[in-house]
Amino acid sequence: MGADERSIFTDHESGKNLGRPQYQALKNAVLRRGDTPVIKSLDRFSRNKSDIYKELQYFKENNIRLKVIDLPTTMLDLSAEQNWVFDMVNNILIEVLGTIAEQEREMICKRQAEGIEAAKQKGKKLGRPALTFPEN
């Protein structure tokens, strides 16, 4: 998208919440009115629909426009009198994709819990091995 290396913020954490250090640095120290952050996909932004809405509301109130590469309608530049169309289409898409991302996160947690339970029933030890200390 033409950004220089200094303008790219990358978190190596799950999108399950917005407490990621690089995202918080971007939001609280870098973004200003009129800026346009670009993200790959809505589920990379967050996997919690209410968090997505809160952040989008924050961006809207602060005149920050979020572009999502996987949401082509967010990549369009419309005139001010057509912004209502932009908002309507994006709200529908964000509702659908936000719900899908949230469901995906719930399924991941459910499958993980099922896998842990199955391993426990088979008698497998989970977690790190216990530390052994010398007798002295």
Quick one: CA torsion of 21, 23, 59, 57, rounded to 10 degrees?
A: -70
- Per-residue pLDDT at 82: 66
pLDDT at residue number 83 = 65
Q: Strand 38-39 vs strand 67-68: parallel, antiparallel, or unpaired?
A: parallel
Quick one: pLDDT at residue 78? 66
For residue 82, CA distances in Å to 10, 77, 87, 103 come to 33, 10, 9, 32
Amino acid at 125: K
Beta strands in the chain (DSSP E): 38-39, 67-68
pLDDT at residue 6, as a whole number: 83
- The answer to whether residues 73 and 93 touch, using CB atoms and an 8 Å cutoff, is yes
- Distances, alpha carbon 77 to alpha carbons 10, 31, 63, 117, in Å: 26, 20, 15, 50
The pLDDT score that the predictor gives to residue 110 is: 93
Closest CA to 16 of 49, 57, 38: 49
Residues in the chain, pLDDT under 50: none
Phi-psi region of 127 (alpha: psi -120 to 50; beta: other; left: phi over 0): left
pTM above 0.85, yes or no: no
Burial 57-68 (b: 16+ CB within 10 A, else e): eebeeeebebbb
Question: What is the pLDDT, as a whole number, of residue 54?
Answer: 83
